[in-house]
Structure 1
Amino acid sequence: MLGRTRHLLRGGALLAAAGLLAACGATGPTGGGSWEFTDDRGEKISLPARPTRIVAQSAAAGTLWDFGVKVTGVFGPQKLADGRTDPQIGNVDLNSVQSVGSTYGEFNLEKFASLRPELTITTMYDETLWYVPDTAKDKVKPTAGIKIGGKPIPEVLSRFSALAEALGADVKGGPVAAAKADFDKAEAGLREAAKAKPGLKILVVSATKDDLYIVRPQESGDLKYFRSLGLDIYEPKAGADYFQKVSWEQVREFPADLVLVDNREAQALTPTQMAGISTWKLHPAVQADQVGPWFAAAPMSYQSFAKVMNELAELVRRSRTDVVG
C-alpha cells in the first residue's frame, strides 16, 4: 500500500536550485549536425542529429507539446474512464500519437521499438525515471529526465524550455513568448489575490476511500511556489515524503478556510465521491462550500500554469477568511 500511495502522491508533488545544466541543439528544424543535452541526472546525451522521433511520459509530452515539440509516442495516463482526455497529458492530440502504455508499470517494448524512437523523455521526483519500469529502463535509451520533485515551478519551466529549445522549438517568440507573458500576468494576479486575503488558511489533500492524505507543500513544486507568492498552505508536522496519511475520522483536526482537492480522477477520489463520506462533510471548509481543485499533475508549461494560477487566484478572491479562527 505504501508503494501505491507514494505513486499516487508523488505524481502530484509537482520543482534546487542547481543552475541550468548545459544543453545545446543542432541547427535546422528537423535535425542535421550533432546534438547534445545534459539532463537532471547529470547524464549527457549525445546523438548524431537532433532527435525528431520522441517517446515521452504523459506530463512531459503535454509540457513539450505546449512548447511546440510534438512527440511520436506516449506512456502514462492518457484518458479517464469515461473517455475524456486525462489532464496530465494536456493538449497532446492523442489521435496523432501512439501509446506504449497507460498505467503505472505498463510499457510495451515491442510497440516502443516499432516507433523507431530516437529519444525517451520523462520526469523525475528523485533519480528515478517516472513511469519507466526497471525492466525497461535499459531498453529505452537514450533517456532524458527532467526533475520536478520539490522544485518550484519556474525552475522546472526553465528546464523544459531549455530542452524544448534544444529540440528545435522557438521558445523566445511566437506562442511560447505569449504564454510566458500570460504566465507572468497570472503570477502577479495570484500574488495580489493572496495579499488581499491575509489569514486565509489553505489545506491541500488527496483521498482514497480508506484514507485522507495531507499534502506536504515543501515537497510539491507547485504548492511550494504558491507559498512563495503569499498563500498560507498548511505544512503537515507528521508523516513522510509527500504527505501525512490520516483516517477520515481525523479530518476535523486539520481546519482550514479553503481546501484544495487532488483533481486526478484516475488516482484519487473526486469531491463528489468524497461528499459521501460523513466525516468529510464536517470539515469547516466543506460546510462553507470553499473547496476547489488541486491541479496535481498539470503539464509544466507556461500555458498550463497561467490557467492554473488564474483559477486559483479567482478561488482565493471568492473565499472567506473567517471559516476557521
Structure 2
Amino acid sequence: MSDTGAWGFTDDRGVAVTAVRAPERVVAYVRAGAALLDLGVTPVAVYGSGHDGDALDPVKAGGLEAAGVRYLGPGRGLEEEALRGLRPDLVVDVTYDGKSPYALEEAVADRLGVPSVALCVGNELSLPRIIGRFGDLAATLRPASAEAVGGSLASAEGVLRAAAGRAEVTVLALSGAGTDQVHLARPHAWPELARLLELGVRLLDPGPGPGANWLTADWEHAARLAPDLVLFDSRANAVGPEAFPPVGHARVAPWNPELPPSPVAYAGFFRAVAAALAA
C-alpha cells in the first residue's frame, strides 16, 4: 500500500490490481474466504467450485458458517446480478496452474468492473509459501491481521515431527470415488502432503500410472500398499470410510485437500495427523 492510500496487490499469476483504497467488500472462493477469515478479513460472501452443491460443504467452510458469511453456490453457475447486488470491490479465487482462476470465470468479475486476484494453491509453491501469500493479501486488506499468527503452526509442526519420529507408521492419502474405485494421492503433487513428508511422515506413493495428482485404481491396489494409516478425503463430494471397503488393517483419519491456507487451519491438521500417528 502506498503513502497516498492507494491499494495494490500482485497475485500469483503476475496480475497487478489496484484501487483507490483497500477493498472492504470481498467475495471469495470458499477455500480462500475461509483462509482470509482466519486472518482477520471477513468476506461478504463466498462461492463454491464445480464439486460443490447448493449448500456449503461444512468440511470446506472453516469458520465461515459461524461468522454468518453468505454462500452463493457453485461459482460457474453464479448469477451475475446476485453478485452485483453484493457490491463487491474485490474477488479472491485460487489457481492451480498459475494462469486461471479455479472456481469463477475471470470474465464475470471483468463484466462487473471488479478487480480479481488468484492465489496459487498448487505444487508450484511450497505450503509455507502458499500460507504466506494469503497472509500477504490479508495484510493489505486489514493491516492488523498481519500480527504474529505463525507461532501455533510452528508448534504444531514440532509436535508432528516428534510424532513421526517415534511412530513407524506408513500413511496413504486417498479420495474415495465409490465402492469399486479410489483416487490415490501422489504425495509430492499436494503441498500439504509434501510438507508432511518434510516433517518425517512416511507417506506412500501409489506407483506408476496416469494422473499427475492421483492414481485412479481399485481398492485392492490400495490394500496391497499395506498402509498403517489412511488419510481419507473428507469433502462432501468424496466417498467416506463408512461407504468404502477396509484398506487392509489400516486405521483412518480425515484429510481435507482444500483446507483453508491459514496457519490456524494447518496447525489443526498437523496436530490431528500427529494424534493419528500415535493412536
Assess same fold via TM > 0.5.
Answer: yes
The residue that corresponds to 1:56 in the other structure is: 28
Of residues 116, 129, 132, the one that matches 1:143 is 116
Structure 2: tracts of 5 or more residues without a match: none
Partner amino acid for 1:293? P
Of residues 130, 141, 146, the one that matches 1:156 is 130
The residue that corresponds to 1:21 in the other structure is: none
Q: How does 1:1-325 map to 2 (within 5 A)?
A: 25=1, 33-76=5-48, 86-93=58-65, 96-100=68-72, 102-103=73-74, 105-126=76-97, 127-133=99-105, 136=108, 138-139=110-111, 141-150=114-123, 151-173=125-147, 177=148, 179-198=149-168, 200-209=169-178, 210-236=180-206, 237-264=208-235, 266-274=236-244, 280-281=245-246, 283-286=247-250, 290-318=251-279
Partner amino acid for 2:78? F
Structure 1: tracts of 5 or more residues without a match: 1-24, 275-279, 319-325
Deviation at 1:104, TM superposition (A): 5.7
1:180-202: CA deviation from partner (whole Å, max 9, x where unpaired): 2111110100011111124x211
Aligned partners of 2:91 and 2:109 also within 8 Å: no
Aligned partners of 1:106 and 1:133 also within 8 Å: no
Aligned partners of 2:48 and 2:56 also within 8 Å: no
Aligned residues: 272
Q: 2: CA distance between counterparts of 1:229 and 1:111?
A: 44
Pair 71,134 (structure 1): closer, same or farther in 2 beyond 3 Å: closer
The residue that corresponds to 1:6 in the other structure is: none
Q: 2: CA distance between counterparts of 1:107 and 1:295?
A: 24
1:185-235: CA deviation from partner (whole Å, max 9, x where unpaired): 10100011111124x211111011141111111111110111111111112
Q: 1: CA distance between counterparts of 2:197 and 2:215?
A: 18
Pair 202,73 (structure 1): closer, same or farther in 2 beyond 3 Å: same
Q: 1: CA distance between counterparts of 2:249 and 2:94?
A: 33
Pair 204,85 (structure 1): closer, same or farther in 2 beyond 3 Å: closer
Q: 1: CA distance between counterparts of 2:248 and 2:71?
A: 43
Q: 1: CA distance between counterparts of 2:92 and 2:273?
A: 29
Pair 85,132 (structure 1): closer, same or farther in 2 beyond 3 Å: closer
Identity of aligned residues (%): 26
TM-score (norm 2): 0.89
